[in-house]
Structure 1
Amino acid sequence: MPNPRLFSLLLLSGAALLTEPAAAQTPVGLGWARNNVNGAVFRKNSVVTYQREQYTAYYDSVGYVVVAKRRLPAGPWQVQQTKYKGKVQDAHNVISLMVDGQGYLHVSFDHHGNPLRYCRSTKPGSLELTDLLPMTGQQEQNVTYPEFHRFPNGDLLFVYRDGSSGNGNMVLNRYTAHTQTWTRLHSVLIDGQGKRNAYWQACLDPKGAIHVSWVWRESPNVASNHDMAYARSLDGGKTWQKSTGETYQLPITEASAEYAARIPQNSELINQTSITTDAAGMPYIATYWRPQGTQVPQYQLIYLSGKDWKTTQISQRTTPFSLSGVGTKKIPISRPQLLVSTQGDKTAAYLLFRDTERQDRASLAQCADLRQNHWTATDLTTTSVGNWEPSYDTERWQKEGVVNLFVQRTGQGDGETMEKLPAQPVYIVEWKPRAKPPRPSRPAAAPTRR
């Protein structure tokens, strides 16, 4: 359990994330910080709201899974250390959570090519967790990157990789809330054919359609990432189609995929970033790569405009870096998260990120109208968050237009090494547009991981 006295000392000593907050923030407890296992972008979710209860989870200083909840808008956090412990030395082994339409909390944690570790609350609204449970019992021995999404009717989608870097497949399960049962949707939705694997990001739009984009990885070397592909499902994941409406023959392969952008290998293209949609279900993808003929990776936006895919550069960075190598990388910028909102024919966009060029603060770039492509940036924290990457409460954003970020200063060494950083405060940072926001859209899914 977090030590209240130590937590207070950290706050008073200036080790807290926000000394003079640029956005509202509330502390939760102290979390493991020697690597970025608590702060990885692909936590789906790290924070989640159901009705007026908000939940979060993190590993504490010795690796126990901690769950917490509060009553919105500003109730105190109830914090509970669980009986579960994770291999926190591996930054892949994140905790992902979601609440179903019956109010049960679902938790999956500690995966990097390991058997499924999944449990749920013993009753609605409880922080007490069951023993470990199977889902379908199929292909649950080599799990990586677990993530949850909630359908509008309260059912859940669970997605994970079966296999390894350069040779893995995308698996989809669906949970029926009223029967409390899992069923398999696809054992191999995207097939690397034993030669490559897809690193995806997924989201559900306001009507419950599933949108997925991905890069292909040819080997464990991050530099072999290439291209940005796309698929969607309008029937809960059963059948899949391209943006044109053409039906995919499953599984999707490199040859059959629709490409939103062609990006060659060795472009410093990152994997596992962000996809979201506007209110009409049109997809928007945020990532970064180094444009051809340049030396500096830049944040990029890929989006569907009418029938055509467009790409626009968001950032104007000046610092080059390379992604070559394997494992979790220590990278000077985070992978981004993207949110969009619509009002009439205007679409506003918000990019959450961290960059050494902004002193490694949690930052936000915003564009009031994507037709103008004019971006301004602000910092949401006043001090460094180390190697943190953004993850946020997708459900509260979708319903209220409020951004609740999971924020913690974290370390990260190259290739699964760690930094000598003691436990750091975990915060939920709250931000919302100053002007009345347009209608929020259903948001994104989101290390360079292997």
Structure 2
Amino acid sequence: MKRRALLPLMAAAGLAGCALGPAPREVRLVDVGPGWARNSVNAVVFRKNALVSDGDWQYIAYYDDEARVVLGKRRLDSTHWTLQTTPYRGNARDAHNSISLMVDGAGYLHLAWDHHNNPLRYARSLQPGSLTLSGPLPMIGQQERSVTYPEFHRQPDGGLLFFYRDGGSGRGNLVINRYDPATQAWTRLHANLISGEGRRNAYWQSTLDAHGTLHLSWVWRESPDVASNHDLAYARSRDGGVSWETSEGRPYTLPITAASAEIAAPIPQRRELINQTGMAADADGNPYIASYWRPEGSAVPQYQVVYRRDGQWRRLLLDWRRTPFSLSGAGTKAIPIARPQLMLRQRGGRPEALLVFRDEERGSKVSVAHITDFDARRWTLHDLTPGSVGAWEPSFDTELWRRRGELHLFVQAVQQVDGEGQAQVPASPVRVLEWRP
């Protein structure tokens, strides 16, 4: 039986715009097993997913201290995990090379791992719910030699979408494949949905809303230097990713380029704008995009939410931070704050949100901003763990949140040396943080 811990949720009022809410409920931390901690490869924000549920079961994937891919499963609400070390390894020394996991509508696990401008590495379970994987499989067999940032998204019919970048930083295109559980076959939806035209690339985040609409947003990067990130763009698809349009319903001519993209928030280069963050949609299908960058006239990067309401793009500035930092250079950066994840729900007919993050100002704990009113700028800050999680970034069980409104986070204390360096630290416990907000 894995050890579990019940932790009191520590609350602290934020600064401008914050009102202290009622005492939140307890959280639970459930141990899984020891994982690679020498960099942040197990705990980067763009894992889709690190943790995922299907029916009564939940699945997890991570690298152990020998960079082997470990799979696990448990019954939801149980603390006992069944773990299986797969025959696969990854170059865990590169924090880009994370593992992404999803379950299709027939119950098969799909796994992609070890990608940073290298050939596709993909497998799926031999049986529904099984932890035993197939050998390496192709998907389409084309544009699979330079894969980065693989992401799975499960559609309402149980089919899967697979997003990845074809190409490199500053010169890549977005590819989308679709998987049909009935035929167990992949088809190509788009060989180049968002084109960098050989001069730039898009760093995206995506979400499916309750109506099945696929929302996609991204920042442009002009070179491998993160300082060249700029602008926040948007597109949506109402037919499962086949055709795309702007927020006003204007059809895009594909591929989308820098000249044709709808700009949800104009942001200049060198504003400490981060890439690959969080996205959600409310009950009416309005998109919400969480990121951080430095507001005009300020030296301090702040978390911000760009959202669509009443036919207009709006912006919520969460201005509690007081410590400046700058972003520049290539590779995985050592940054004092995490890229955020965003979850939305309806309360009293009005959307409210949880923005999950980590900030050195708060002791590098797992923290959450509970946004109770976007228009009135009201939020409350809480810490969900008593101690530091190092360079951790949030990844959560998207399917459990969608079905039950329960937040399960993949949590591991990890280190990150700037520019793909490695910390000389032992393996640390992989845990699942459970909270019913």
TM over 0.5: yes
- The correspondence for 1:151, drawn from 152, 155, 172, is 155
Confirm whether residue 173 of structure 1 aligns to residue 177 of structure 2: yes
Confirm whether residue 356 of structure 1 aligns to residue 364 of structure 2: no
Counterpart of 2:196 in structure 1: which amino acid?
G
What is the CA–CA distance in structure 2 between the aligned matches of 1:275 and 1:357, rounded to whole Å? 24
| 1:55 matched residue in structure 2 | 59
| 1:409 matched residue in structure 2 | 413
Confirm whether residue 138 of structure 1 aligns to residue 145 of structure 2: no
Give the conservation status (yes or no) of the 8 Å contact 2:38–2:414: yes
**SS across alignment from 1:352:** strand
Give the conservation status (yes or no) of the 8 Å contact 1:48–1:98: yes
| 1:383 matched residue in structure 2 | 387
The ranges of structure 1 where at least 4 consecutive aligned residues each deviate by more than 6 angstroms after the TM superposition are none
**SS across alignment from 2:117:** coil
| 1:31 matched residue in structure 2 | 35
| 1:128 matched residue in structure 2 | 132
Confirm whether residue 366 of structure 1 aligns to residue 344 of structure 2: no
Give the conservation status (yes or no) of the 8 Å contact 2:316–2:374: no
- The correspondence for 1:230, drawn from 215, 230, 234, is 234
Confirm whether residue 109 of structure 1 aligns to residue 113 of structure 2: yes
Give the conservation status (yes or no) of the 8 Å contact 1:196–1:217: yes
Q: Please report how far the alpha carbon of residue 345 of structure 1 lies from its aligned counterpart in structure 2 after TM superposition.
A: 3.1
Counterpart of 1:247 in structure 2: which amino acid?
P
Deviation readout 1:101-122 (Å, 9 max, x if unpaired): 0000000000000100000000
| 1:118 matched residue in structure 2 | 122
Give the conservation status (yes or no) of the 8 Å contact 1:156–1:174: yes
Counterpart of 1:146 in structure 2: which amino acid?
P
| 1:188 matched residue in structure 2 | 192
Give the conservation status (yes or no) of the 8 Å contact 1:104–1:126: yes
Q: Please report how far the alpha carbon of residue 373 of structure 1 lies from its aligned counterpart in structure 2 after TM superposition.
A: 1.7
Q: Please report how far the alpha carbon of residue 193 of structure 1 lies from its aligned counterpart in structure 2 after TM superposition.
A: 0.7
Give the conservation status (yes or no) of the 8 Å contact 1:209–1:235: yes
Residue pairs, 1:38-117, within 5 angstroms: 38-117=42-121
What is the CA–CA distance in structure 2 between the aligned matches of 1:128 and 1:345, rounded to whole Å? 44
Give the root-mean-square deviation of aligned CA atoms: 1.4
Q: Please report how far the alpha carbon of residue 343 of structure 1 lies from its aligned counterpart in structure 2 after TM superposition.
A: 3.6
Confirm whether residue 247 of structure 1 aligns to residue 244 of structure 2: no
Give the conservation status (yes or no) of the 8 Å contact 2:274–2:291: yes
- The correspondence for 2:263, drawn from 242, 259, 264, is 259
Q: Please report how far the alpha carbon of residue 133 of structure 1 lies from its aligned counterpart in structure 2 after TM superposition.
A: 0.3
Counterpart of 2:53 in structure 1: which amino acid?
T
**SS across alignment from 1:113:** strand
Give the conservation status (yes or no) of the 8 Å contact 1:19–1:382: no
Confirm whether residue 323 of structure 1 aligns to residue 327 of structure 2: yes
**SS across alignment from 1:313:** strand
- Larger deviation: 342-351 or 57-66? 342-351
Q: Please report how far the alpha carbon of residue 19 of structure 1 lies from its aligned counterpart in structure 2 after TM superposition.
A: 8.8
Counterpart of 1:408 in structure 2: which amino acid?
Q
**SS across alignment from 2:239:** coil
Confirm whether residue 310 of structure 1 aligns to residue 336 of structure 2: no
Instruction: List gaps (5 residues or longer) in structure 1.
Output: 434-450
What is the CA–CA distance in structure 1 between the aligned matches of 2:349 and 2:407, rounded to whole Å? 23
- Larger deviation: 307-316 or 145-154? 307-316
Deviation readout 1:218-276 (Å, 9 max, x if unpaired): 00000000000000000111100000000000000001000100000000000000111
| 2:298 matched residue in structure 1 | 294
What is the CA–CA distance in structure 1 between the aligned matches of 2:326 and 2:110, rounded to whole Å? 37
Confirm whether residue 395 of structure 1 aligns to residue 399 of structure 2: yes
Instruction: List gaps (5 residues or longer) in structure 2.
Output: 10-26
Deviation readout 1:51-93 (Å, 9 max, x if unpaired): 1110000000110000000011225110110000010000000
What is the CA–CA distance in structure 1 between the aligned matches of 2:402 and 2:152, rounded to whole Å? 15
Counterpart of 1:298 in structure 2: which amino acid?
Q
TM-score normalised to the size of structure 2? 0.94
Confirm whether residue 340 of structure 1 aligns to residue 336 of structure 2: no
What is the CA–CA distance in structure 2 between the aligned matches of 1:409 and 1:315, rounded to whole Å? 26
Give the conservation status (yes or no) of the 8 Å contact 2:30–2:79: no
Give the conservation status (yes or no) of the 8 Å contact 1:346–1:370: no
What is the CA–CA distance in structure 1 between the aligned matches of 2:245 and 2:299, rounded to whole Å? 36
Q: Please report how far the alpha carbon of residue 207 of structure 1 lies from its aligned counterpart in structure 2 after TM superposition.
A: 2.0
What is the CA–CA distance in structure 1 between the aligned matches of 2:79 and 2:227, rounded to whole Å? 45
Counterpart of 1:123 in structure 2: which amino acid?
Q
**SS across alignment from 1:414:** coil
Give the conservation status (yes or no) of the 8 Å contact 2:6–2:28: no
**Identity percentage of aligned residues:** 57
Q: 1:19 to 1:430 in 2, by over 3 A?
A: closer
| 1:282 matched residue in structure 2 | 286
